[in-house]
């Protein structure tokens, strides 16, 4: 139903009232009488009405306009009343969680199981999402399993790919079917804490775009507040070259995934089995002044040939100044609690009696 203002101070009701109305002795399309120059003028025709009938016409027109969600202002221009009472946008409750990545053997699946049990012990409901299509032995209860969509073993058989190639194919397939993941995340309760167990292929979270696309979709479209927990086996601290490589891997992962990041030295309880460290454990958790490790590297005849390269890599880590590590022993409740607090701080999670709220 359209409205066309005709002139200043008057409106036409022909477009608003498609039928003929009768008020006493007046009949025909209703026009809006207005005062102009001290004389009463009508837009459509002169009305044979009495003053009380004109007042009744005005009241009827006002009621009609309000029923249609419109009103007439002082200048006679129709405006919307319901526009000011437009419905508020639907509130989307944020979902909190962590994306667990790391090289093979770093303890990702064990950590996910331990974190699920730890959260249950402290009264926080959680759900585990398995995004590893090659993990056929899950020690935890899994609510979302990517193997229901695609399995790495089937890809290897049908396409003749190797383990790494099939894994890349599976993650590309998941990134192309994000609606499958979205439906299952929406089916989860609103206040659950999500634990995302990812594959261990390093190229997936350092070079390839598929996992990053999945994470970006969860953050931007599904309004998930996620932190990346990157696990590194603590025994790498025993070798200077391996430790520098692990630090570079952590830095690369931070820059590639672009999430709030918590780096972790896992299996810290087994560190003593590999001998004494060259420096205190705090030195390795701070990951600063890596130049002190160059002396140990230069003692190796093979590594000494790349002294300039090693020095440049150490300087890159120091220039960024982003990498630090927390320590983890899954069965140590104190270390698990400290790590969980660090992740909660990274995503702004505040645990309350009524659910979760973003921190200030």
Q: What pTM, to 2 d.p., does this model score? A: 0.72
List, for the chain, all residue ranges whose pLDDT scores fall below the cut of 70: 1-93, 351-360
pLDDT computed for residue 94 by the predictor: 80
Across the strands, what pairs with 95?
A: 224
Number of neighbouring beta carbons within 10 Å of residue 258: 13
pLDDT computed for residue 81 by the predictor: 42
pLDDT computed for residue 136 by the predictor: 83
pLDDT computed for residue 106 by the predictor: 93
Cα 149 from Cα 153, distance rounded (Å): 12
Q: Is 296 helix (H, G, I), strand (E, B) or coil?
A: helix
pLDDT computed for residue 66 by the predictor: 53
pLDDT computed for residue 208 by the predictor: 92
Contact 326, 285 (CB under 8 A): yes
What does DSSP assign to residue 106? S
Across the strands, what pairs with 22?
A: 27
Across the strands, what pairs with 39?
A: 36
The 3-class SS string of 109-158 reads HHHHHHHHHHHHHCCCCEEEEECCCCCCCCCCCEEEEHHHCCCHHHHHHH
- CA-based nearest residue to 279, from 265, 292, 264: 292
Cα 9 from Cα 75, distance rounded (Å): 5
- CA-based nearest residue to 101, from 246, 201, 176, 223: 201
pLDDT computed for residue 304 by the predictor: 81
Residue 50 phi/psi, 5-degree rounding, is -95, 160
Lookup: tokens for 293: 């490790």
Across the strands, what pairs with 322?
A: none
CA angle 195, 198, 201 (to 5 degrees): 160
pLDDT computed for residue 351 by the predictor: 66
- CA-based nearest residue to 166, from 152, 145, 184: 152
Across the strands, what pairs with 101?
A: 230
Contact 356, 349 (CB under 8 A): yes
CA angle 96, 202, 263 (to 5 degrees): 50
pLDDT computed for residue 63 by the predictor: 52
Q: How would you label 325-343 residue by residue, b for 16+ Cβ within 10 Å and e otherwise?
A: bbbbbbeeeebbeebbeeb
Q: Tell me the pLDDT tens digit for each residue of 275-294.
A: 888 899 999 999 988 989 98
10-11 and 5-7 as β-strands: parallel, antiparallel, unpaired? antiparallel
Alpha helices, DSSP H, located in the chain: 51-67, 108-121, 152-159, 163-175, 178-186, 202-206, 210-220, 240-257, 281-286, 294-298, 307-320, 333-347
pLDDT computed for residue 188 by the predictor: 93
Q: Tell me the pLDDT tens digit for each residue of 169-219.
A: 999 999 999 999 999 999 998 889 999 999 999 999 999 999 999 999 999
């Amino acid at each position: 139903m359209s409205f066309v203002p005709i002139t200043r101070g008057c409106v036409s009701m022909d477009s608003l009232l498609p039928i003929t109305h009768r008020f006493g002795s007046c009949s025909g399309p209703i026009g809006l009488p207005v005062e102009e120059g001290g004389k009463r003028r009508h837009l459509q025709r002169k009305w044979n009405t009495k003053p009380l009938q004109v007042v009744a016409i005005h009241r009827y027109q006002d009621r009609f306009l309000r029923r249609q969600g419109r009103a007439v202002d002082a200048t006679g221009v129709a405006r919307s009343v319901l526009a000011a009472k437009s419905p508020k946008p639907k509130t989307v409750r944020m979902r909190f969680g962590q994306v667990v990545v790391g090289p093979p053997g770093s303890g990702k699946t064990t950590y996910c199981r331990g974190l699920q049990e730890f959260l249950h012990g402290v009264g926080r409901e959680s759900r585990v999402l398995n995004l590893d299509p090659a993990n056929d032995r899950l020690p935890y209860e899994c609510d979302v399993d990517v193997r229901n969509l695609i399995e790495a073993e089937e890809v290897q058989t049908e396409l003749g790919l190797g383990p790494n190639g099939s894994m890349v194919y599976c993650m590309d397939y998941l990134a192309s079917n994000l609606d499958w993941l979205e439906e299952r995340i929406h089916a989860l309760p609103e206040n659950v804490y999500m634990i995302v167990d990812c594959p261990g292929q390093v190229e997936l979270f350092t070079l390839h775009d598929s996992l990053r696309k999945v994470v970006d979709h969860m953050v931007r479209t599904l309004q998930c507040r996620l932190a990346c927990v990157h696990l590194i086996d603590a025994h790498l601290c025993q070798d200077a070259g391996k430790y520098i490589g692990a630090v570079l891997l952590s830095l690369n992962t931070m820059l590639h995934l672009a999430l709030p990041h918590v780096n972790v030295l896992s299996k810290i309880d087994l560190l003593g089995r590999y001998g004494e460290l060259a420096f205190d454990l705090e030195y390795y958790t701070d990951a600063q002044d890596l130049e002190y490790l160059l002396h140990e590297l230069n003692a190796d005849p093979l590594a000494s040939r790349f002294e300039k390269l090693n020095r440049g890599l150490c300087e890159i880590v120091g220039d960024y100044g982003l990498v630090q590590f927390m320590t983890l022993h899954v069965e140590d409740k104190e270390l698990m609690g400290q790590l969980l607090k660090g992740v909660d701080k990274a995503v702004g999670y505040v645990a309350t009696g009524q659910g979760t709220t973003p921190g200030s």
